[in-house]
Amino acid sequence: MSINFALLYLRAFLAVFDHASFHKAAELLNLSQPALSRRVQGLEARLGAPLLERSTRQVAPTAAGRRLEPMARRLLDEFESSLLSISGIGERQSGQITIGSIPTAVIYFLPRVIKHFNSRYPLIRLRVLDRSPEEGLECVVHGEVEFGINMIGSTEPDLRFTHLMDDPYVLVCRRDHPLAQKRNIAWRDLAGHPLIRIGRPNSGNRALLDSALTKANVRLDWFHEVNNLTTALGLVQAGLGASILPRLATPPRPHPEITAKAIRMPEVTRAIGIVERRKGRLSAPAKYFRDMLLADWGAGGGEPKAKP
């Protein structure tokens, strides 16, 4: 089987695998259903095993089909990525990638990766939808973005969550706050201090923090309540109380008036990761951006640093 036909057969198989329908897959590939069936049958004949179980009501992968699926995706993705790097194809490629991200991730590390991406693919525009965790997840589910950067989504059956880091919650207060000079802070030390609470009742940050504190049998004195992390920082700076925020939401450089202090016993963290549709397939530029993001984070670019 020539390389060209092998790629066509693999794309045909994956299209049916993703949509569980020969009709939808044929429309996607702009093929007739008989032509699509011949390609799948050709791949099955080459491998000597049925890959899809066909019935009048549904199409489902066989055990061999499930084993082939990740290998087929990897082969096609590697082939397309290689094409982008040959003879400057990537430099001449134009278009737009849309991703969704929680605002704190956008502020903290995305600008560096975007700058690197733009130097490699100067004609590809990047559109970032900065959304709350819940809104960002909906953008991924409904296909409004190619992938998302989020703190939720690991339990969604139709989504794949690639863990990037654990972002701890810290005490954010003015430098003249009674706890600012304390070396080690436990949750019980926050008792009696007015605190600024973030998030709506069902928001991701608030639900995660409330659940962790309930398990640890810790009750705090929430005095003010706001929806946005930046609003909480403003109230802290004005001396209206301290707040508990993810470290990524704290000022990225030493602030003249605000400090962030680690809280132990227990340490409460939120998981940050890349969220993708399991049955979706990234465009080649989007995959390259995703891989660049993973490489940057793996090199330590995304790890939150301790702040004074």
Question: Bridge partners of 160?
Answer: 276
Task: List all residues 6 or more positions away from 34 whose beta carbon is below 8 Å from its beta carbon.
Answer: none
**Domain 3-85 falls under CATH 1.10.10.10:** yes
pLDDT at 52: 93
pLDDT digits (tens, 9 = 90+) for 3-37: 455 788 998 998 898 888 888 888 878 889 999 99
pLDDT digits (tens, 9 = 90+) for 110-131: 888 888 888 888 888 888 998 8
Say if residue 238's pLDDT is above 50. yes
- Per this entry, what is the length of the chain? 308
The answer to whether the beta carbons of residues 133 and 150 sit under 8 Å apart is yes
**Domain 166-269 falls under CATH 3.40.190.10:** yes
Domains 3-85 and 92-164+271-301 share a fold: no
| Highest mean pLDDT (candidates 44-58, 69-83, 93-107) | 44-58
pLDDT at 150: 92
Read off the pLDDT of each residue in 200-206 and give the average, rounded to a whole number.
74
pLDDT digits (tens, 9 = 90+) for 222-236: 889 988 888 888 999
The answer to whether the beta carbons of residues 13 and 28 sit under 8 Å apart is no
Read off the pLDDT of each residue in 197-216 and give the average, rounded to a whole number.
79
pLDDT at 83: 62
Amino acid identity, residue 236?
V
Q: What's the 3-state SS for the chain?
A: CCHHHHHHHHHHHHHHHHHCCHHHHHHHHCCCHHHHHHHHHHHHHHHCCCCEEECCCCEEECHHHHHHHHHHHHHHHHHHHHHHHCCCHHHHCCEEEEEEECHHHHHHCHHHHHHHHHHHCCCEEEEEEECCHHHHHHHHHCCCCCEEEECCCCCCCCEEEEEEEEEEEEEEEECCCCCCCCCCEEHHHHCCCCEEEECCCCCHHHHHHHHHHHHCCCCCCEEEEECCHHHHHHHHHCCCCEEEEEHHHCCCCCCCCEEEEEEECCCCEEEEEEEEECCCCCCHHHHHHHHHHHHHHHHHHCCCCCCC
Say if residue 262's pLDDT is above 50. yes
pLDDT at 251: 79
Question: Bridge partners of 165?
Answer: 272
Distance CA 175, CA 134 (A): 33
Read off the pLDDT of each residue in 180-200 and give the average, rounded to a whole number.
87
For the domain made up of 92-164+271-301, give the CATH fold: D-Maltodextrin-Binding Protein; domain 2 (3.40.190)
Closest by CA position to 275, among listed 148, 135, 118, 129:
148
Per-domain boundaries in the chain: 3-85, 92-164+271-301, 166-269
